[in-house]
A and B are shown apart, each in its own frame.
Chain A
Amino acid sequence: MPEAFSIDMASLASLEPKSWPSELISQKHLIYSSPAALAFNSPGAEGFGVKRAALTLPGSVMLLFSPGCCGRNTSALGGPESRYGQRTFYLLLDETDIVTGRYQTKIVDACQEIAQSLTPAPQVIVLLSTCVDALLATDMERLVRLAQKRTQIPCLSATMYALTREGHIPPMVGVRKSLYSLLQKAPKDPSRVNLLGFFTPLADDCELYSLLGNAGFSHVQELARMADMAEYQNLARANFNLVLHPESRLAAKFFEERLEIPSIELTQSFELEKIHKQYAILSRLLPTPLDDHQAFEAALSKRKEQAALLHDLSFAIGETSNAEPFGLALALLRMGCRVAEIFAEPAAEKLALIKAIAAISPKTRLASNLSPSMLMYQPKPGEVDVAIGSDACYYHPEAAQVPFLDEAKPFGYQGFCALLNAIDEACHKAQSKAQNTGVHVCAAC
């Protein structure tokens, strides 16, 4: 019986990215849509796909025009019981539509019918296209103009082109930019700063809010916290943007070019010294310095408090979580933990992290969720105490489970503390389970 493919980090680090095994490169094999990584392969399946992201705009409705299969997963978003309510509409295409392109004339009619059927009228209509329009080269700008003219409601387009996932503008990058495309240039307000990166807000207790607030930024703005389109326009008044996720770089470029709002990028990290250093650098760029002393000290205490627990643990880390897997693995290793496995696709830009991990823990194994061989994956009994990420949790049902997938996004010291709390809680749960069943689960229990 063949085994799932994996490679130790020492071997991987010794290779140039172009020589990495084909099992780790998704373009070179069929894609396993593992139950562990559904959200990765089809972001709409869980978490945020383009569809759900497009509904982040306040008061928006979305018209998806596509074959029925493309809208199938949206049943989970619709319905009065959903937080998205009845905001998703579908124009289903048949084969004749695709061959003749006749559906394009129906889109504007459909927008009008939707607008007329809703009270109050939607504040924005998002026209969402799929692979079909990518291949037919549909002129989306024209469709947006026509729909806007007919409905007198602001319209924008977003694209759900999985075909371009590894391309220049992958779908999740494109939608991050599209969501800001309705902003109009406005006079700057020095008290406003935008946080770019996520479709839900940062956790309420994230120190970024207080740090920026104390430095004179009384309005820390995020798209997901905008109540209506009038408030949305305030995003164009920001003094600068903080980019918290690399997929927002294109959106940041849009802000710079169209709205003359510059951006500073902060990287999510689970290493306290790195976070502290990052805030120090940011501080130097601001008129009033940031004082993260208190938050830093609190996080250091937390780390000290949990050190004994963490030292005994062995982790499996997946990519379906609110943490970048290689950075998280390195942070845990530097805290003295063991990392048995990482489930992720490596990329050339991760090479430095891969080498750093290999230097500390050469035997840590890397497997790609997408490799067909993962169909044969079998966990080694007793090897992993804690699984982080829903994919790692799937592969290690026996381990303490830390999905770390909360909608409120963790960042900075708050993210670090939230992770430690989640690990602590999962270990306690595992301990209770062990007591109830007599099965030993977690080394720390």
Chain B
Amino acid sequence: MRGLLKRLAPFAPDSSGVVSALYELEGLLVICDAGGCTGNYCGFDEPRWKEKKCALFSAGLRDMDAILGRDDRLVEKAVAAAKLINPRFLAIIGTPVPCVIATDFTGLGRLAEKKLGLPTLTFATTGTKLYDEGLSLAYTRLFDLFAQKEQAVVSGRIGVLGASPLDLGESSAHHLRQNLQNAQNAPSEILSHGLDCGFQALSEAASCERNLVIAPSGLACAKLLQERFGTPYTLDYPLSPGLQALAKEAAHYSRIAIIHQQVLACALRRALYAYAKPQKPEVTVASFFTLLEELSETGDQHLETEDALRGLIEEHEIECLVGDAMFVRALSQSLSSKLRVLELPHFAVSGSLMPQGLC
């Protein structure tokens, strides 16, 4: 049955994607919920929560707020919190409750902006969609609003788009930067937007020589920056030595499935092809999340259900699965026992961080 999960647990939702993109940007973030959605985000979708402070709050909606649509109370609470925190902007993030009561987020944003005198971003997320959609929405809105000034291009400076712990499985950009520095044509300066990189970097987006999109969620924003400032972009993921070793190991098999966010999966596939020469194995990239046409090869598959995952393994007679350990749960014992699994955690799937060896 479509929508029924018997083995897997739900993935990170769109609201988590939005908050993840905004987390380090010194804003006042208000999740428009009763408390549970915020708790889920902080407890499960945000590995930075115990390490880096963020002015992230729940609106603390109660039944009468929902029934009577008391938006003015929410704005009053946000104004009081803003006095304490002095944020750069306010963001209000939707959940199932405002979805059901059809909150007018545009109106709410205008009301809050007027009372606060701060730029206000509202996101009509519903909790029914997936995190990558939320990330993409948030990156695009952020850069659209705060990256408006033309600037001189700084030679060797690159912007990284799509650097969220939900995809990276890390709470800092340390390894990402290290892997970029170790690559050919290493940049002299890296703006890893949203991760170890504050609000100021948004307004410096125009100064980047190029942008590197490391997850599908960064693409829409890269296109915006290309259109606005002419900044070129590339879709690629800087593989760590650990991930290179993983590709090398997978190259021993002839039918391989890589299930992760597409940009990482495709970078792994390229590395795998290089290790597997002269015989090219059959490598299928699959994802429960966005699959971009730009990167897809014939046979790549967008997964929507547990059955589709099982079907992929069975129909392609996959010998080696590179992906999150949670996916193995969806397979029958007889199927998984024949399969070599090379674990590649995906935080947005299982909440597991990337082990040190793969960072």
Q: Which residues of A contact B (CB under 8 A)?
A: 2, 26-33, 35, 38, 41-46, 66-76, 78-80, 86, 88-95, 97-98, 103, 106, 109-110, 113-114, 117, 130-132, 134-136, 160-167, 370, 372-373, 375-376
Contacts and interface: CB of A to CB of B under 8 A. Distances in A.
Contacts of A27: 60, 62
- Sorting the interface of chain B by its residue count into under 10, 10 to 19, 20 to 34 or 35 or more gives 35 or more
Interface of B: 1, 3-7, 9-16, 30, 33-45, 49-50, 53, 55-63, 66-67, 77-78, 80-81, 84-85, 95-97, 99-101, 126-128, 130, 326, 329, 350-351
Given A73-B40, A98-B99, A166-B62, A33 B11 contact: no
27 contacts: A29-B77, A30-B59, A31-B58, A33-B39, A33-B41, A35-B42, A42-B40, A44-B39, A69-B10, A69-B14, A72-B16, A74-B9, A74-B10, A75-B326, A75-B350, A86-B7, A90-B5, A91-B5, A98-B96, A114-B4, A134-B63, A135-B66, A135-B67, A135-B101, A160-B36, A370-B60, A372-B84
B44 A73 contact: yes
A350 B225 CA distance: 57
A311 to B, nearest CB: 34
Contacts of B61: 163
A44 B40 contact: yes
| Main SS at interface, chain A | helix
Contacts of B41: 33
Given A72-B44, A134-B63, A167-B63, A67 B81 contact: no
A246 B7 CA distance: 36
A78 B350 CA distance: 10
Given A45-B39, A76-B351, 14 more contacts: A29-B77, A33-B38, A35-B42, A45-B43, A67-B96, A68-B127, A70-B37, A75-B10, A76-B44, A89-B6, A95-B99, A98-B100, A110-B1, A131-B66
Contact of A113 (B1, B10, B12, B55): B1
A165 B62 CA distance: 8
Contacts of A113: 1, 4, 6
A372 B9 contact: no
B138 to A, nearest CB: 16
Given A38-B42, A113-B4, A33 B99 contact: no
A79 B9 CA distance: 9
Contact of A31 (B13, B45, B55, B57): B57
Contact of A2 (B9, B39, B58, B84): B84
B97 A163 contact: yes
A94 B39 contact: no
A372 B81 CA distance: 7
A163 B40 contact: no
Contact of A42 (B1, B7, B38, B56): B38
A67 B84 contact: no
Contacts of A106: 1, 3-4
A68 B326 contact: no
Nearest to B59: A30
Rank and list the top 3 A-B pairs by shortest CB-CB distance, nearest first. Answer: A42-B39, A69-B127, A45-B43
B96 A130 contact: yes
Contacts of B40: 42, 44-45, 69-70, 72-73
Contacts of A74: 9-10
Contacts of A130: 96
